[in-house]
Amino acid sequence: MRVALRRLAGLVVFLALWEAISRLGVLPSTVVPPASTVLARFFGLFADPKFVPDAVSTLLSWLIALAIAVGIAVPLGVLLGSVRWLRLVVSPVVEFLRPLPAVALIPLVILVLGSGAQTKIALAAFTSVWPVLFNTIYAVSEIDRQLLETARVFRTPPLRRLFLVVLPSIAPFTLTGVRLSAAISLVVLVTTEYLTLGTIGVGQFVYFWGTSAGKMDMVLAAVVFLGLVGYLVNLALLGVQRRWVGWAASGGAV
Amino acid sequence: MSGRWPDFARRWLVFVVFLGLWELVTRAVGNAYFPPPSRIASATLDTWFTATGMTDDILPSLGRMLAGWAIAVAIGVVLGVALGRSPVATDYVSPMFFFARAVPATLLVPVFLVAFGIGPKMEIVTVTFGAVWPVLLNTIDGSRSVDDVQAETVRAFRIPRAQWVFGVVLPTALPKIFAGMRLALSLAIILMVVSELMGGSSNGIGYRLVNAQGLFQFPQMWAWIVLVSVLGYVANLVLTAAERRALSWHPGFRAEADLLEA
């Protein structure tokens, strides 16, 4: 209770300071519009006929990209985690591909795939694969040997073993990977939208209001929107982790 | 774990086979967007190794990235230690921190452009804004984990503040700080490229990348993409080595085993 009150007080003071800095002209209000203006714009976004499809496009692409990444990375991670020789063969290639930031591929992928949603989905999915893949491989190596051996002794069929032993054991780590991926893929999504002329999405909305119109209140309203969404999604994933896979003491780092 | 040399040889063998396959497939398909690696390699000659490529593009980009990252680390560690040792103050600021961390830093590029203009200042600010959060939040977390007995011993013996911070708090928090620094570095590379792509720069790796795209010079474009990749790889390697050296004494440190090699 105390903590919540302090947080609320901190937020109020922050907003008041922001308002004052802008109103008193410490920072020009063309660069940092007052908090009240930005908040009004933020609530206005939900009735903005241009912003709503932008937001839907970004959030839907986000979901699809994460689903694709999980669909690729979890089976691949389980496979690489359980078959040693395959892991040894594949790992140098993975190490070579992983440091390749998706943002460096934006200009290329725009040319190859065009300006539609497939471009940003492909780039975001590419980024999202790595954290999930690495966490899954790690999780497979951490599965309790006794569990695996018990399952083997009782001749549990492989499929049953997968669903009753392997997947529940790796879920906490894999979810941590998904959480990391969600944050990074959102950056890749909005950056791609920003750089793709004639597309839709929150990134393009920011590009339009920021670069062509110079309206920072609209830009910051969109920033508040995505910041809030990102924060809530992270919170929701943490909640899922705690509620449904709470048997693991921890789900990895950060 | 197999020996060092066979391990090394295996990696390179796989890598060479991978390159060979890539070469064969791209030659067979003949798609202009995907030049064979041999052509990318020869394109590095007129991208990385030109008279101006190094001094006008690669070094400035690298400098901005490292500057932004170093500022982020400095702010994150100083503020993080201060906040980590005062939970009440942390309560007041944590909503803003968690919110700011969730904001994709690239969306603020228009604001930074208006505030700082086109140029290195804006690029450094973008990198710093994105990279500061993992360092800050990890340092807060790490500083909190100082053992209560240690904290009280220090208080009982009236150990000077500087010694408390540098002798107890920082060493305890170091593994977490390094983890944050590594995350921040990979973000810094992304943001360096992005700020050059988005910010109307007139030099730098990101600028060359869009330029090559505009001129349809695909081997050159790939050469820049490979360079970003190599930078990311090398930066992570250096930092991991530094981490291993700095933390080998730490009881809480478990050298991050190569996950893929185990």
Q: Average pLDDT in the B4-14 region?
A: 79
User: Residue A228's closest CA among B215, B95, B83, B29?
Assistant: B95
The yes-or-no verdict on residue B4 having pLDDT over 70 is no
pLDDT for position B185: 92
Of the segments A49-53, B39-43, B228-232, which one has the largest average pLDDT value?
A: A49-53
pLDDT for position B252: 62
3-state secondary structure of A250: coil
Amino acid at A78: V
Nearest-Cα distance to chain A for B159, in Å, is 30
Question: What H or E segment, with its residue span, contains residue A55?
Answer: helix A51-82
The yes-or-no verdict on residue A254 having pLDDT over 80 is no
Quote the tokens at residue B195.
């700020």
Question: What is the C-alpha to C-alpha distance for residues B173 and B140, in angstroms, rounded to an integer?
Answer: 8
Quote the tokens at residue A5.
């009150």
Least-confidence region, from A134-148, A236-250, B204-218: A236-250
| Residues B40 and B222: beta-carbon distance below 8 Å | yes
Chain B touched by A211 (CB under 8 Å): yes
Give A-chain residues touching B229 at CB under 8 angstroms.
Answer: 96, 99-101, 104
Mean pLDDT of chain A: 88
pLDDT band at B161 (very low <50, low <70, confident <90, very high): confident
- Rounded to 5°, the CA angle B166-B169-B174 comes to 90
Amino acid at B160: P
Question: What is the C-alpha to C-alpha distance for residues A30 and B235, in angstroms, rounded to an integer?
Answer: 38
Chain A touched by B81 (CB under 8 Å): no
Rg (CA), chain B: 22
Question: What is the C-alpha to C-alpha distance for residues A240 and A244, in angstroms, rounded to an integer?
Answer: 6
- Start-to-end CA distance of chain B, whole Å, equals 7
Q: What is the dihedral of CA B223, B228, B232, B233, to 10 degrees?
A: 0
Q: Say yes or no for a CB contact (<8 Å) between A7 and B108.
A: no
Q: Average pLDDT in the B135-141 region?
A: 92
Question: Phi/psi class of residue B146: alpha, beta or left (left: φ > 0; alpha: ψ in -120 to 50)?
Answer: beta
pLDDT for position A247: 61
The yes-or-no verdict on residue B25 having pLDDT over 90 is yes
The yes-or-no verdict on residue B132 having pLDDT over 50 is yes
In this prediction, the answer to ipTM > 0.90 reads no
Question: What is the C-alpha to C-alpha distance for residues B154 and B165, in angstroms, rounded to an integer?
Answer: 10
Amino acid at B184: A
The yes-or-no verdict on residue B134 having pLDDT over 60 is yes
Instruction: Say what the pTM is.
Output: 0.87
pLDDT for position B3: 61
How does pLDDT run across A68-86, given as a tens digit for each residue? 999 999 999 999 988 888 8
The yes-or-no verdict on residue B262 having pLDDT over 90 is no
Q: In angstroms, what CA-CA distances link A219 with A250, B123, B218?
A: 37, 18, 34
Nearest CB neighbour to B18, from listed A88, A93, A214: A93
Mutation site, B61, B98, B106, interface A, largest A CB count within 10 A: B106
Q: What is the percent of chain B where pLDDT is above 70? A: 94
Question: Phi/psi class of residue A252: alpha, beta or left (left: φ > 0; alpha: ψ in -120 to 50)?
Answer: left
How does pLDDT run across B52-95, given as a tens digit for each residue? 777 888 888 999 999 999 999 999 999 999 998 888 888 899 88
Chain B touched by A114 (CB under 8 Å): no
User: Residue B137's closest CA among B189, B193, B84?
Assistant: B84
Q: In angstroms, what CA-CA distances link B144 with A175, B43, B87, B99, B168?
A: 25, 50, 8, 21, 11
Query: Crossing angle of helices B205-214/A102-113, nearest 10°?
Result: 10
How does pLDDT run across A131-177, given as a tens digit for each residue? 999 889 988 888 888 888 888 888 888 888 888 888 888 888 899 89
Mean pLDDT of chain B: 86
Residue in chain A nearest B106 by alpha carbon: A191
Least-confidence region, from B152-161, B186-195, B245-254: B245-254
Least-confidence region, from A95-99, A132-136, B154-158: A95-99
Question: What is the C-alpha to C-alpha distance for residues A243 and A237, in angstroms, rounded to an integer?
Answer: 10
pLDDT band at B202 (very low <50, low <70, confident <90, very high): confident
How does pLDDT run across A189-218, given as a tens digit for each residue? 999 999 888 889 999 999 999 887 888 999
Residue in chain B nearest A206 by alpha carbon: B107
Question: What is the C-alpha to C-alpha distance for residues B28 and B260, in angstroms, rounded to an integer?
Answer: 31
